[in-house]
Amino acid sequence: MSQLPRTLVLSDLHIYPDTPPAVGEDLARLVAAHPGARIVLLGDLFDLPLSTPRRSQRETVAAALAAHPAPSAALARHLDGGGELWLLGGNHDAEVGTDGFAGRLVAALGASPGAVARVRTSPWFFREGDLHLEHGHFYDPDNAPAHPLVVQGTRSLGVHFVEEFIAPAGAHHYLQMNDGTPLELFLASFTKYGPRAPHVIYRYFYAALSAMLKSGPFYRVGGEVEAGRALEPGFARELGVGRDLVEALLAHGAAPTMESLARTFSRLYFDRVLATIAITGGLSAVAAGKPRAGGAVAAIGALGMIASWSRGHDRYRGTVPELLAASADRIADATGARLVVFGHTHREALGDRYANTGSFAFPRGAPGRPFLEIEGSAERPRAVRRYWMAAEAA
């Protein structure tokens, strides 16, 4: 059996210029405490769609690193000291998997040119023996790309909302609420943003309506699927895996929500939004002395709301953590993986065959910043949950 090097896996740091400095400082301390280790950043290291004004990928990454010098210096020392750095593209930083990114990153970090040999990047997954590492967004309909090897393709619903709602509204709280309903989002906006709440809600509706206009018959992916298929043989060779493994994973990917106008309409709860508007408007008309017309409109709204609720509260057919856990089981069955590791959900999971890193940046009440240490061999890997204490608690 081939023993794995000391391997740390963490995900979802969402680094951009306004990320709280403590996130980068804690990453720097973690890296410095594990010299020579293999550090796997499992996607969404950067939050490229949050760039305002929008810049090129290279400019956005450079600005993020410049704003957080501590982790940049720590990663440079790690690489120059012989440590490894593996990076996977996530839905917020798919460009990590583009050709030449490793060299540009090494240069931006200020590491020696030879350090590029210890950096691996992938737009989709890594596989070492029976250990499968992937960000996980390919199994989430709202964030699934048309093809996981086409990293600069049509935006998913999730990325669309980051660029058109979260970034311009400054509503960064919603990075952690990607499976909430509009009502939950609206109520949270008054709690989190106070006087800015009306603008936040306006930007939500702007993003939602523009998403509708880009979905279904307006969803254009051009030749992305064909381009991705053409890249599959080279990708498989580079990773040292069989084409059959790539095919098996493709078979379990999610269909993007925006492929369907009906699914987009349903996912955005527009039926419930329109029913609420009808009920409110009808009752207002009744109060204004128009009982017959107002009552009819309110009744139509009420019937629409009943019909909506009869279809079920959950428009995901399971929460994102549930979808990824089920996908991990299918991947293990289809490819023989003994351990599948995802990020993306911002929620931790730990089992014999599936583990989720949780989010290093958003611990969600955990005793520290969550990450995983992979122990054992490539043939029998196992995940151990770790927590890195924040500087003020250390």
pLDDT score, position 81? 97
303 and 235, same structural domain? Answer: no
Q: Would you say residue 201 lies in a domain?
A: no
148 and 282, same structural domain? Answer: no
Q: Would you say residue 376 lies in a domain?
A: yes
pLDDT score, position 288? 85
330 and 236, same structural domain? Answer: yes
277 and 149, same structural domain? Answer: no
CB 309 within 8 A of CB 334: no
**DSSP code of residue 366:** -
Type of residue at 156: S
Q: Would you say residue 203 lies in a domain?
A: no
CATH code of the domain containing 68: 3.60.21
331 and 241, same structural domain? Answer: yes
Number of domains in the chain: 2
Q: What does the alpha-carbon distance between residue 44 and residue 162 come to, in Å, rounded to a whole number?
A: 13
Q: What is the pLDDT along the chain (394 residues), one digit of tens a residue?
A: 678 889 999 999 999 888 999 999 999 999 999 999 999 999 999 998 887 656 777 788 888 899 999 999 999 999 999 999 999 999 999 999 888 999 999 999 999 999 999 999 999 999 999 999 999 999 999 999 999 999 888 999 999 988 998 888 887 777 766 555 666 666 677 778 888 888 888 888 888 889 999 999 999 888 899 999 999 999 999 999 999 999 999 999 999 999 999 888 888 877 767 766 677 777 788 888 888 887 887 787 677 666 666 655 554 456 889 999 999 999 999 999 999 999 999 999 999 999 999 999 999 888 999 999 999 999 999 999 999 986 655 4
Q: Would you say residue 196 lies in a domain?
A: no
Residue 96 backbone phi and psi in degrees, to 5: -55, -30
pLDDT score, position 60? 84
Q: Would you say residue 363 lies in a domain?
A: yes
148 and 21, same structural domain? Answer: yes
CA dihedral (12, 18, 20, 21) positive or negative: positive
CA dihedral (30, 31, 35, 39) positive or negative: positive
In the numeric block, which tokens belong to residue 81? Answer: 């000291």
Q: What does the alpha-carbon distance between residue 11 and residue 310 come to, in Å, rounded to a whole number?
A: 37
Q: Give the burial class of 112: count Cβ atoms within 10 A of its Cβ; 0-12 exposed, 13-18 middle, 19 or more buried.
A: exposed
Q: Which residue has the tokens 């009502």?
A: 183
18 and 38, same structural domain? Answer: yes
Which domain, by its residues, includes 22? 7-154+219-254+318-388
Q: What does the alpha-carbon distance between residue 244 and residue 227 come to, in Å, rounded to a whole number?
A: 18
Structural domain ending residue among the three candidates 295, 314, 333: 314
User: Following DSSP, what letter does each residue of 158-200 receive, concatenated?
Assistant: HHHHIIIIIHHHT-GGGGG-TT--HHHHHHHHHHHHGGGHHHH
Q: Would you say residue 177 lies in a domain?
A: no
Q: Is 244 helix (H, G, I), strand (E, B) or coil?
A: helix
> For residue 55, how far is the Cα from the chain centroid?
20
Q: Would you say residue 127 lies in a domain?
A: yes
CB 224 within 8 A of CB 153: yes
Q: Directed axis angle between helix 270-287 and helix 291-310, to 10°? A: 160
351 and 384, same structural domain? Answer: yes
Q: What does the alpha-carbon distance between residue 219 and residue 211 come to, in Å, rounded to a whole number?
A: 9
Structural domain ending residue among the three candidates 314, 330, 348: 314
- The tally of CA atoms less than 13 A away on the side-chain side of residue 50 is 23
Q: Would you say residue 94 lies in a domain?
A: yes
Q: Is 86 helix (H, G, I), strand (E, B) or coil?
A: strand
pLDDT score, position 178? 57
Report the first-to-last Cα separation within the chain, whole angstroms.
37
381 and 349, same structural domain? Answer: yes
CB 141 within 8 A of CB 264: no
Type of residue at 108: A
378 and 283, same structural domain? Answer: no
Q: What does the alpha-carbon distance between residue 181 and residue 314 come to, in Å, rounded to a whole number?
A: 9
353 and 301, same structural domain? Answer: no
pTM of the model: 0.88
382 and 276, same structural domain? Answer: no
Q: What does the alpha-carbon distance between residue 307 and residue 305 come to, in Å, rounded to a whole number?
A: 5
